[in-house]
Amino acid sequence: MDGKVTLSHGAGGELTFEVVKRFFLEKFLHRSAMDGVGLDALDDGASIKTKNLEIVFSIDNYTVNPIFFPGGDIGRLAVSGTINDVSMLGAKPVAILDAVTVEEGFSFNDLELIVNSMKEAAEEVDVAIVSGDFKVMPKGKLDKIVIAACGVGVTEKGKIILDSGAKPGDKVLVTGTIGDHGVALISKREGIEFETEIMSDTAPIWCVVEAALKVGGVHAMKDPTRGGLAGALNEIAEKSKVTIYVNEEKIPFKEPVIAAAEMLGLSPYELLSEGKAVIVVDRELAEETLNEIKKTKYGKEAEIIGEVRREKPGYVLINTLAGGTRILEKPIGEPIPRIC
Amino acid sequence: MWNNFLQGYRNRALALRIAKMITAKAQTLEKTKIMHFCGTHEYTISYFGLRSLMPENIELVAGPGCPVCVAAIEDVEEAIQLAENENIILTTFGDMVRVPALNKSLWEVKSEGFDVKVVYSPHDALKLAEKNPDKEVVFFAVGFETTAPAVAYEIIKAKEENFSILTSLRLTPPVMKYLLESGDVEIRGIIAPGHVSTVIGFEPWNFVSEYGVSVVVAGFEPVDVLLAILMIVNQVSEGEAKLENEYKRSVEREGNIKAKEIIKNAFEVTETIWRGIGRIPSSGFKIKERYSYRDARVKYSIKKEIKKTSMPKGCICDKVVLGKAYPTQCHLFKRKCTPRNPVGPCMVSTEGTCYIWFKFGKQLPSPLGL
Amino acid sequence: MCLAVPGKVLEIKGERAVVDFGGVRREAIISMLDDVKVGDYVLIHVGFAIQKLDIEEAKETLKLWVSILKETT
C-alpha cells in the first residue's frame, strides 16, 4: 500500500478496514490469548478466559474536534466510548485505564473540566479508573489533547456477545435516535457551521445493555459510532453472514438531524452516534427486550427497525420511505457535505 | 417533517400507488428509456429505491448531470495547482475533493499539508477570506445554472482583495441539445432538472419535444420523480411528446428573473469541455472582463488550454454519462473500478451513475413488504 | 447537480435572512427574490434563496393526483 494516509483512512469505513487488515491483521502472528476472542474478530474488543469468567478488554483513541461540543467533551466521550465498547460484548464494565496526552500550553482549567466529565461518566456506571498515564508534547506537535482509554469488563464464560452472533429470524433494534453526535460536531465546523439545538448523545449506556441482557435474547450488539448506522449494520451482516432488512420508517431520528443531513447532502445513516447501540435479539424476546430498554435512562426512544434474513448474506437492505428497496452500503470514508 | 406540505411528497402509500399506476399504464408499451439529467435526481431514485418499483420495460437512465462527472480534468488540475501554494486556502464543495485529476485529488493535496477546505456556500469561502487577511482564498466553483447566481453574487459584491474564484460552471440545455442531436440514444422521455429550471424557467426545454421526446420538469422528492415518470408514460401511451412542469411549487415559465440578471452581469457564455464528451459550444460560464480581478485564472495567470479529454483506458464513462451504456456493460465496473479506487469520473462522485449502481445496486429482489 | 432544500424565514436582516430547515438555522442571502416576508418558505441552494415556494400550489398538486389515483387504481 504506497501513498500517504488521508483523513478518510481514519473514518471507520472501508479505507480504515483496509489499513487494519494490511498493517495489523496480516502482520501480527499471535492475535488472541488465553482462549479468548482476538484481533481476527475485529469486534469492539477482545477477551481472555479464566476458570468461570471471561474478561473483556477494549481500547480506543479519542481525538474529537472540537474538544468541547454541545452535549459533552472529549473527557465524557473517552469514558463513555470505552464503557460502551466493553458493554457491546455483553460484559459489565468494571475498570478503565486512560492515557492523556496534552500539548504544551494547554490550560489546566480545560483539563479540569475534561477530567470532571470523565469522573461523572465513570461514576454513572460505578466503573473504577484504575490506572493511567499523563504526557505533554511540545507546542504545535499535538492538537490540544488526545485521550487513549482501555476498558475492562467481566461476563460469565461463554456469555460474550459478538458481531457474528445474529441469526436469521432475529429482530434488529436501535436504542435511540441516530446521528445526534455527528450533527452536533458538524454544526461547529468552520465553513459549514450552523445553529441547532441538537446536542451530542455521548453517554455510557451499560444500563441499557444490562436491561437487554437480563431478558436473555441478545445475539449481537454494535455501537454505531464511526461509520454510523450503515457501518454498524453492515459489520453485523458481514460477520454473521446474514441479510439485514430495515424499514426506513421505523428508524428514529431527531428532526434537526434529518434537516442537517439534507441541507448538507449527507446520508443520515453515516452520521455518528456516541450513546446508542444496535442490538440483534431473538424474535420471541424482541418486544420484551424493547420494553425493558425503554425503561432505562438512555433507551427511551428505542425502536425495532428491522429483521434478519438469509437471502443475500452480508447485505443490508432498506425498505425506503417511498416503498422501494435498496442496498444500504458501508461508508467508504468520512461523511463530506456535497451540493449535488 | 415540520414542513408538512413536503411530507405528502414522501408518503409511502401515495408513492406505491403512483408506481402501480405507472406499471399499469406501461403494460402496452415496449422498452421505454427515460433519462434524468440531474445527479440529484439520480440520488433520489437510488436513495429511495425507485428503480425497484419500476416495471421491466421502464428504464431510468442517468444523463450528464453531475458536476463532478462532467468537470474537465483541466479544471481540477488548475484547482490542485492553486492549492499547492502555501499562501492559498483552496475552498470547494465537498463533491470535488476526491476527484482524481491527472494523478492526485484535492484531498491528497490536503494530506500533504496544504490548505484545502470544504465549504457549504461561496459566502463561507468569502468569510474565510475576511478572517484570514494575510492569506489568499480561492473558491473552486463547480456546478450548473442553479449554482451560477450564488457565485455571480460573490463576484460582484465581494469587497475582500484576497478572494478570487476558479470557475467550472456549465449550462444544461446545450448538452441536452448535443445529446439529442447525436441521435444515437433512443431516449423517449427526459426528466428535466427542477432546480436549474427554478433559475432558468421551464421555457428553455421546449426544444426537446421537437425531437419527439417527452420532457417533464421535476422536483426532487420521491413522489415528484414518480409523478414525472407517470406523466411521461401517459404521454408515450398517447403518442405525444410535449413539455410539462411537475415542479409547479418552484418552477415558473421565466424562472427567477433576478437570478438570471445577476448571472448575465457576471458571466459570459463560452465553449467549454465536458469530461468524457468533449467541447460543446456556448455551454460554459466565464467571468467577464470587468471582474477579472475576481477571476483566479487571471489573478494567478493560469492558462487554460482546451484539449479533448480522453477517458482512462477501458473506461466507458463517456457512454454512461450520455445514457448510451450501463455501468454493468463496462468490464472495469466492480473489478478494477470501485469507489475505493475509482478509474472513471462516474465512479468518483457520489452522484455518478457508476458509483450509485455500485453502491445502491440495480438488480434487486422485488419490493419487500416488511 | 443542485441540492436545494426548503427553509422557513424566521428573521430578515437586509439582504440576508435567518432560515430554519427544521431545527437547523442558517443565514441565507435573499436578494435574488422579491418581498420575502417572515414565515415564507424559501428554497435554499448553497446559502442562497433561489425561489419562494408556493405552498398552496404544492398542496393542490398533491390533492389533484391523490384524486386521480383514487379513481383509477
The pLDDT, as a whole number, for residue B310 is 64
Is residue B133 in a domain?
Answer: yes
Chain C residues in contact with B223 by the CB 8 A cut-off are: 62
Confidence of residue A108 (pLDDT cuts 50, 70, 90): very high
Is residue A257 in a domain?
Answer: yes
In sign, the C-alpha dihedral spanning A98, A104, A108, A113 is negative
Using the beta-carbon criterion (under 8 Å), do C5 and A263 form an inter-chain contact?
yes
Q: What is the tally of structural domains in chain B?
A: 1
CA C65 to chain A, closest CA, distance in angstroms equals 16
Is residue B244 in a domain?
Answer: yes
- Are A169 and A221 within one domain? yes
Confidence of residue A292 (pLDDT cuts 50, 70, 90): very high
B101 — phi, psi (to 5°)?
-85, -120
Q: Within chain A, how many helices (H) and strands (E) appear?
A: 8, 15
Is residue A333 in a domain?
Answer: no
- Are A106 and A180 within one domain? no
Average pLDDT, chain A: 94
Chains that touch A (3 or more CB pairs under 8 A): B, C
Is residue A340 in a domain?
Answer: no
- Are A87 and A190 within one domain? no
pLDDT tens readout for residues A216-274 = 999 999 999 999 999 999 999 999 999 999 999 999 999 999 999 999 999 999 999 99
From first CA to last CA, the distance across chain A in angstroms is 31
Interface pTM, i.e. ipTM: 0.91
Using the beta-carbon criterion (under 8 Å), do C23 and A196 form an inter-chain contact?
yes
Is residue A332 in a domain?
Answer: no
3-state helix, strand, coil in chain C (%, to 5): 25, 40, 35
Domain boundary among A124, A156, A188: A156
- Are A205 and A286 within one domain? yes
The pLDDT, as a whole number, for residue B351 is 66
The pLDDT, as a whole number, for residue B367 is 41
CB atoms within 10 A of CB B358: 23
Query: CA-CA distances (angstroms) from residue B212 to A40, A97, A126, B66, B319?
Result: 60, 72, 73, 25, 22
A87 is in which domain, residue-wise?
31-156
**3-state SS, one letter per residue, for chain B:** CCCHHHHHHHCHHHHHHHHHHHHHHHCCCCCEEEEECCHHHHHHHHHCCHHHHCCCCEEEEECCCCHHHHCCHHHHHHHHHHHCCCCEEEEECHHHCCCCCCCCCHHHHHHCCCEEEECCCHHHHHHHHHHCCCCEEEEEEEECCCCHHHHHHHHHHCCCCCEEEEEEEECHHHHHHHHHHHCCCCCCEEEEEHHHHHHHCCHHHHHHHHHCCEEEEECCCHHHHHHHHHHHHHHHHHCCCCEEECCCCCCCCCCCHHHHHHHHHHEEEEEEEECCCEEEEEEEEEECHHHHHHEHHHHCCCCCCCCCCCCCCCCCHHHHHCCCCCHHHCCCECCCECCCCCCCHHHHCCCCHHHHHHHHCCCCCCCCCC
Tell me which residues of chain C have a pLDDT lower than 70.
Answer: 1, 73
- Are A195 and A257 within one domain? yes
User: Read out DSSP for A118-180?
Assistant: HHHHHHHTT-EEEEEEEEEE-TTSSSSEEEEEEEEEEEETT----GGG--TT-EEEESS-SSH
Domain of residue B203, CATH code? 3.40.50.11740
- Are A188 and A322 within one domain? yes
- Are A124 and A255 within one domain? no
Which residues, numbered 222 to 241 in chain B, qualify as contacts with chain A under a Cβ-Cβ cut-off of 8 Å? 222-223, 226
Is residue B39 in a domain?
Answer: no
Is residue A11 in a domain?
Answer: no
pLDDT tens readout for residues B268-288 = 999 998 887 888 999 999 999
Residues pairing with A316 in the sheet? A244
- Are A53 and A169 within one domain? no
A255 inside 8 A of chain C by CB: yes
Is residue A223 in a domain?
Answer: yes
Q: Helix, strand, or coil here: A62?
A: strand
Q: Shortest CA distance to B195 belongs to which of B64, B38, B68, B70?
A: B38
pLDDT tens readout for residues B104-154 = 889 989 989 999 999 999 999 999 999 999 999 999 999 999 999 999 999
pLDDT tens readout for residues B64-105 = 877 777 888 889 999 999 999 999 999 999 988 888 787 788
Domain boundary among A128, A156, A184: A156
Is residue A10 in a domain?
Answer: no
B337 — phi, psi (to 5°)?
-110, 105
pLDDT surpasses 80 at A3? no
Q: Best interface-test mutation with C: which of A192, A255, A263 has the largest number of C CBs within 10 A?
A: A263
pLDDT surpasses 70 at B1? no
- Are A132 and A172 within one domain? no
Residues pairing with B6 in the sheet? none
Which chain A residue has its CA at the smallest distance from B123's CA?
A191
In sign, the C-alpha dihedral spanning B355, B360, B366, B367 is negative
pLDDT surpasses 70 at B306? no
Using the beta-carbon criterion (under 8 Å), do A6 and B12 form an inter-chain contact?
no
> Does 2.30.30.140 match the CATH number of domain C5-72?
yes
Q: What is the tally of structural domains in chain A?
A: 2
Q: What does the pLDDT average to over B236-253?
A: 97
Is residue A123 in a domain?
Answer: yes
The pLDDT, as a whole number, for residue C69 is 85
The pLDDT, as a whole number, for residue A60 is 95
Chain B residues in contact with A192 by the CB 8 A cut-off are: 118-120, 124
Is residue B27 in a domain?
Answer: no
Which one of A19-28, A131-140, B31-40 scores highest in mean pLDDT? A131-140
**Domain parsing of chain C, residue ranges:** 5-72
- Are A120 and A196 within one domain? no
